[in-house]
């Protein structure tokens, strides 16, 4: 490990999270979707903050293990990935709430996906993988803005008059 979590580390990683996920949230808000900039940024900030907390707790546990000395018979297990798994599960439930099904129409799949990827981006920045966070954000934005324009929706070829699938783009 390089160093403990510092104020600069926190400001940098939360700031990058707000900026990049804010772009995704802005795209959703511009299209008047149910989850806009505020929702996306808050989900990502929560994910980033919990990831930073997990990292700090890991450093503190490592320091404690040095103080206790491993020859005293203590065994310390560090499982910081549990917090990340909890974030992903919680955001999955949040995304499920954004998906609406009426009769044979389904709405909100893209919004649910953007909430999920926003949390992922928050985890990535919170873990200090800045380049990965930037690239993931850029690819997410490209997917939201360009892919729909370039490719038609593959499911539309197989729809009947009664069945309707609407991606919330």
Residue 159 belongs to a domain? no
Residue 154 lies in a domain: no
Per residue in 67-120, pLDDT (tens digit) is 776 566 667 777 878 889 999 999 988 888 888 878 878 888 888 999 999 999
Is 166 contained in some domain?
no
For residue 68, is it within any domain? Answer: yes
Q: Which residue has the tokens 């707790």?
A: 57
- Percent of the chain past pLDDT 90, that is, above it, reads 40
Given a cut of 70, whether residue 138 has pLDDT beyond it is: yes
Q: In terms of residue numbers, what domain contains 49?
A: 7-148
Q: Model-level pTM?
A: 0.79
pLDDT of residue 19: 96
Q: How many domains does the chain have?
A: 1
First-to-last C-alpha distance (Å) of the chain: 41
Does 73 reside within a domain? yes
Lowest mean pLDDT among 34-38, 40-44, 65-69: 65-69
> Do 64 and 76 contact (CB within 8 A), yes or no?
yes
For the ranges 21-30, 61-70, 72-81, the one whose mean pLDDT is highest:
21-30
Proportion of the chain above pLDDT 70, given as a percent: 84
What's residue 1's pLDDT? 46
State whether residue 71 is helix, strand or coil. helix
Six token digits for residue 152: 């038609």
**What is the pLDDT, as a whole number, of residue 79?**
81
Start-end of H helices in 99-147? 109-126, 130-142
Specify the range with the lowest mean pLDDT, choosing from 1-5, 54-58, 66-70, 153-157: 153-157
- From 17, 13, 10, 51, select the one nearest 37 (Cα to Cα): 17
Q: What is the mean pLDDT of the chain?
A: 84
Cβ–Cβ < 8 Å for 28, 37: yes
Domain membership of residue 155 (yes or no) is no
Q: Which 3 state secondary structure label does DSSP give 34? A: coil
Looking at the DSSP bridge assignments, the partners of residue 102 are 105
Asked if 54 contacts 83 with a C-beta cutoff of 8 angstroms, the reply is: yes
Residue 1 in any domain: the answer is no
Within a domain: 69: yes
Q: Hey, is 102 helix, strand or coil?
A: strand
């Amino acid at each position: 490990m390089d160093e403990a979590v510092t104020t600069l580390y926190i400001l940098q990683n939360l700031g990058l999270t707000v900026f990049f996920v804010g772009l995704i949230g802005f795209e959703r808000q511009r299209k008047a979707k149910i989850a806009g900039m505020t929702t996306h940024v808050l989900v990502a900030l929560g994910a980033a903050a919990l990831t930073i907390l997990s990292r700090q707790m890991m450093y503190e546990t490592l320091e404690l293990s040095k103080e206790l000395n491993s020859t005293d018979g203590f065994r310390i297990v560090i499982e910081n990935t549990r917090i990340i798994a909890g974030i992903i599960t919680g955001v999955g439930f949040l995304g499920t709430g954004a998906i609406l099904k009426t009769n044979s129409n389904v709405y909100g799949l893209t919004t649910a996906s953007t909430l999920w990827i926003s949390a992922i981006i928050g985890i990535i920045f919170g873990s200090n993988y800045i380049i990965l966070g930037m690239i993931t954000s850029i690819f997410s934005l490209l997917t939201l803005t360009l892919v729909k324009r370039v490719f038609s929706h593959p499911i539309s070829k197989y729809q009947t008059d009664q069945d309707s699938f609407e991606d919330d783009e």
